[in-house]
Structure formats: structure tokens, C-alpha cells
Amino acid sequence: MCGGRGTRLGGETEKPLREVAGRPMVDRVLDALAESRVEATHAVVSPHATRTRERLAERASERPSLSVVDAPGNGYVADLRYAMDAADADGGPLLTAAADLPLLNGAAVDAVLDAARAAAGDSLTVCVPAARKRELGVSADATTEIDGREVVPAGINVVGRSGESERDDGGAVHLTDDARVAVNVNYPSDVRIAERLLERDSGRHHTDR
């Protein structure tokens, strides 16, 4: 899902194209999906993000597993349902990922797929404890309560082909502290934190080698 304006981030750059550590967020998410077990990716754009669409169309021309879906821009849930109808799928559940998850990688995507398989349901809502978001220092908008615990829906979920959204009550809930899905970029402060975490992880991997 990559059709947002990104007004809370400020500036003229469309949200999916906002760079984190020198790379647009949408490119980071696409690379994560390509590294995962996901076989085909449908990039859902809207009239609110025309430059994002141009970039994705260019990437789709070089990558057969990527296609662009032009949603009407009527809001997240409406565009999601439109995309689900437009996607050439076998009728099974679909994984959805927002373009504002710059820490996402293939292993994190596969972990969500594994959780969905273990839940054996039609949909899986991925949530992060609000306390974990605050510990990381990132924004914790749209909090809700599950089993007496304050949580925030993550930007990656598994959605049933029936058209229900991840905010409905019909599916299973997967609660995780994983920073790779906990860091959504909504404000300039989130960009700075994401870049710091990416730099830390990069340094750790360099040391491990």
C-alpha cells in the first residue's frame, strides 16, 4: 500500500518516496518483499501519489513479479478492497504491507507469514505493544486495547479475500515486539529514529562478519 500523501512528514515529497538512510521507503519495502517467500507483489497506488506511481511503474518494467494497481484513493480500507479485487490471486489470503516500514526485511515478512499459517485463519492482524513503540521512541498513533493491553496495529497484516480489513474482529491477532515491524514512519522524528536503528543494525552485521 503506497498511495499516501505523507502530510504529517512535511515537505513536498510523497510519503513512499521519503528517503530513510538515503533510500526511498517504498524501495526498502519492495526489497523486503522480494527477499521473502512472497511470490508476487502488487503495488497499490492512488491519485495522491503520482510520482510514486512513476517510480513503481519503472521498477515493474524491470521486475516481472511486480505489478502496479491504480486504486481510486478513497482511503486505506477502500483502496485495499479495490486492490484485492484487482489482484490476480487464487482466492487465498493476501499479505498487505504499508510503504512506511523502512526496517522491514525478508525475514520479518516470512515471520508474519509463519504466524498466519500457525493461526490457521483467514486473516491475521499484526500489532505492536504501545509500550514497545514508546521504548523505541517512534509515534504510537491509533492505539487500541486487546486483552487489557494497549497496542498499535502494525503496517503489515494478512487479509482474507472476503474483503475484511485487518481492523475487523474476525481474524487472529499476532502481537510482536519486533522493531522491523514496529517502526512506522509518520513524522520527521520517526525518520531520525529509523535511520539510527538501521545504522546500528548495519554496524552489528559488519561486526558479525
Residues 40-52 pLDDT 10s: 999 999 998 899 9
C-alpha cell at 59: 521498477
Residues 86-143 pLDDT 10s: 775 556 778 999 999 999 999 999 999 999 999 977 789 999 999 999 999 999 988 9
Count how many Cα atoms sit within 13 Å of the Cα of residue 52 in the half-sphere of its side chain: 32
C-alpha cell at 202: 548495519
* DSSP code at position 46: -
The per-residue pLDDT of the chain, averaged, comes to 87
The DSSP H or E segment spanning 44 is: strand 41-45
128 forms bridges with which residues in the sheet? 152
Reduced to 3 states (helix: H, G, I; strand: E, B; else coil), residue 25 is helix
In one-letter notation, the amino acid at residue 185 is: V
> Does 161 score more than 90 pLDDT?
no
Q: Which domains does the chain have, with CATH numbers?
A: 7-208 (3.90.550.10)
What per-residue confidence (pLDDT) applies to 6? 63
